[in-house]
Structures are given as structure tokens and as C-alpha cells.
């Protein structure tokens, strides 16, 4: 039987939207002990502490500095870096001595966009590194997260990291060279789908529907279509054909979507976001080298 102590502690560095989502998911679906480290007070952290007494500790940088606190992490512990990429170096400079004072090598998971494993390893030599790209749906426990790992990661460490993101959705292990494409597809993807939902609801409004009804119908339609793809395992084209009656309304609408290039536009969106992610990664790497 695996105990909480065997699994080790989880330390979350940064408590923005994604940090909050991960902590909430971990506290809700596991029995893990979580320590949150940040620069600012958080009402959300106080609410979670009340809801999950004894399992969440919130440490402010000012208190750590004032009291000289240390949180020596062991190999069984996990450090999740949820800061903004531009704040990473300053955060590491402050918190690294706090975490690694005991000489341990925790599993380090980074969700920093466009930041390769090699760059994280320079700050945490000797630690196994995982790079993860969750999306905003983690806030409703429905994230799509892709992960990659440094070569020395064991099956146990991969499973440990994966379980964290499976607490807020689904997770896949991919080669690191696909992480920019992941950013373009699932990382930025919710924004594309929001536009689809908005456009569908606008169409309903144009045809006389009340705005709220149109929005709810559009959102539920997208949700239901996605669930059918997941649950049936069928190709989207097969599912589309099942609802396309010869000479009917759906084929007429599909003709318009094809005529205006819906599919090429969505493909181009993923390609463009992927290329931008690569550019940002190169810029960040050059900045670190200076």
C-alpha cells in the first residue's frame, strides 16, 4: 500500500490560475500534502486551507525571508514550477536555497511555456525534470496536458508526475520536440474553441434566438460533440457523416464552411501558434545565455 509519506510532499511555486487549479485538483482527488509558495497573499489559499485542514500550507516569500525558513526536499518530493516564464530566474534565485538546503534532488515539474528541459536543468542540476503543458481547462478538472521528461526519469517518476495532472484532466507523455506543437494545439486550443462557440451563438442570435439560450446551446453542442469523439473512438469525419442527411440542412452548412475555409484556417492557427512558441523559446534561451 502506497502511503502519503511514501509519495512525498508536493510544493507548488507560484499560485496563479494554473497553480490554483493544480492545488485544488490535488487536494480534491488525492490525500497528498501540498505546500504553496508565493510572493502574495491569496484568498483562494485561505479558502482551500479551511476546506482541507492540515493538508495545505501557504508560505509567503516575506515570511520565509524574515524567519529564515527552509523546506528541504527529498527525492520522493515533487516541486512544481508555476511562475510566469519572465519571473523564473528571480523565483529560482530566492526559493532554490530554501528547497535544496538538505541536498535532496526532488522531481521538478515545470509548466513554463517555451522553456526546454535543458534550461530548467541548469537551475536544478541532479534533479529529474518534467516539462508539462496543461491548458486552462485545468480550472474545471478537464485539462489536456502533454508532458516530457529528462532521459534519466524512471517509470515511477513518470507515473508520479502524470498522476498530478490526471487530477485535473487527462495527461499524455510525448517527446520534447512535440511540445511547441502541443502549445499550438491544446495549449492555445481553448481560445479557438471559444471563438467557435461565440460564432455559433451569434448565428443563433441572428436567427432570432435569445443570447443566453444561443450561448448555452452552442456550448453544450461543442461539449457533446467532443464527448462523442472521446467515448466512441470514431474519427470525427465518420461521426460527421452520421448526422449529414443527403440534401439536408447539415450538408448545406458544411458546404458553406468548406467554401470559406474553416479547416484550413484552424490548421493554420495551430501551425502559426507552434511557430510562435518556437520563436519565444529561442528568444528565452538567448536571453538566458547573455
Count of CA atoms in the C-beta half-sphere (13 A) of 223: 8
Q: Residue 54 and residue 277: Cα distance in Å, rounded?
A: 40
Q: What is the pTM of this model?
A: 0.89
Residue ranges of the chain that CATH labels 1.10.3730.10: 187-269
Q: Residue 190 and residue 206: Cα distance in Å, rounded?
A: 24
* DSSP symbols for the chain: ---HHHH--EEEE--SHHHHHHHHHHHHH----EEEEESS--HHHHHHHHHSTTTEEEEEHHHHHHHT------TT-EEEE-S-GGGHHHHHHHHHHHHSTT----EEEE--TT--HHHHHHHSTTS-EEEEE--GGGGGT-EEEEEEE-TT--HHHHHHHHHHHHTTEEEEE--GGGHHHHIIIIITHHHHHHHHHHHHHHHHHHTT--HHHHHHHHHHHHHHHHHHHHHH---HHHHHHHT--TTSHHHHHHHHHHHTTHHHHHHHHHHHHHHHHHHHHHHHHHHHH-
- The pLDDT assigned to 129 comes to 98
Other Cβ atoms within 10 Å of 234 Cβ, number: 13
Q: What angle do CA 216, 183, 29 make, to 5 degrees?
A: 65
Tell the CATH topology of 187-269.
Answer: ProC C-terminal domain-like fold (1.10.3730)
- The pLDDT assigned to 5 comes to 43
> Per-residue confidence of the chain (290 residues) as pLDDT tens digits?
334 445 689 999 999 989 999 999 889 888 888 999 998 887 888 888 888 888 998 889 999 989 988 889 998 899 999 998 888 989 999 999 999 887 889 999 999 988 899 999 999 999 999 999 999 999 899 999 999 999 999 999 999 999 999 999 999 999 999 999 999 999 999 999 999 999 999 999 999 999 999 999 999 999 999 999 999 999 999 999 999 999 999 999 999 999 999 999 999 999 999 999 998 888 877 776 66
Residue ranges of the chain that CATH labels 3.40.50.720: 4-180
- What are 80's strand-pairing partners? 12, 109
- The pLDDT assigned to 288 comes to 67
Q: 181, 189 in Cβ contact below 8 A?
A: no
CATH architecture of structural domain 4-180:
3-Layer(aba) Sandwich (3.40)
Q: Residue 224 and residue 85: Cα distance in Å, rounded?
A: 35
- The pLDDT assigned to 3 comes to 40
Other Cβ atoms within 10 Å of 68 Cβ, number: 7
Amino acid at each position: 500500500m502506497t502511503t502519503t509519506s511514501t509519495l512525498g510532499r508536493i510544493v507548488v511555486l507560484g499560485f496563479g490560475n494554473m497553480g490554483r487549479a493544480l492545488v485544488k485538483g490535488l487536494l480534491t482527488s488525492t490525500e497528498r500534502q501540498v505546500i504553496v509558495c508565493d510572493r502574495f497573499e491569496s484568498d483562494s489559499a485561505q479558502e482551500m486551507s479551511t476546506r482541507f485542514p492540515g493538508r495545505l500550507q501557504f508560505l509567503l516569500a516575506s515570511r520565509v525571508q524574515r524567519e529564515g525558513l527552509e523546506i528541504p526536499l527529498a527525492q520522493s518530493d515533487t516541486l512544481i514550477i508555476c511562475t510566469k516564464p519572465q519571473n523564473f530566474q528571480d523565483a529560482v534565485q530566492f526559493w532554490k536555497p530554501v528547497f535544496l538546503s538538505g541536498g535532496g534532488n526532488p522531481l521538478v515539474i515545470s509548466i513554463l511555456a517555451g522553456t526546454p528541459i535543458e534550461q530548467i536543468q541548469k537551475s536544478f542540476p541532479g534533479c529529474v525534470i518534467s516539462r508539462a503543458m496543461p491548458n486552462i481547462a485545468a480550472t474545471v478538472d478537464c485539462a489536456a496536458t502533454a508532458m516530457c521528461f529528462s532521459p534519466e526519469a524512471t517509470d515511477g517518476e513518470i507515473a508520479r508526475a502524470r498522476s498530478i495532472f490526471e487530477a485535473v484532466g487527462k495527461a499524455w507523455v510525448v517527446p520534447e520536440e512535440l511540445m511547441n506543437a502541443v502549445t499550438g494545439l491544446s495549449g492555445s486550443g481553448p481560445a479557438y474553441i471559444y471563438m467557435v462557440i461565440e460564432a455559433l451563438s451569434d448565428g443563433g442570435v441572428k436567427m432570432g434566438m435569445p443570447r443566453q439560450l444561443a450561448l448555452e446551446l452552442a456550448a453544450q453542442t461543442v461539449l457533446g460533440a467532443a464527448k462523442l469523439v472521446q467515448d466512441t473512438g470514431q474519427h470525427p469525419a465518420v461521426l460527421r457523416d452520421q448526422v449529414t442527411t443527403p440534401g439536408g440542412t447539415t450538408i448545406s452548412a458544411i458546404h458553406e464552411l468548406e467554401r470559406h475555409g474553416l479547416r484550413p484556417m484552424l490548421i493554420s492557427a495551430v501551425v502559426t501558434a507552434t511557430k510562435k512558441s518556437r520563436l519565444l523559446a529561442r528568444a528565452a534561451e538567448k536571453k538566458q545565455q547573455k
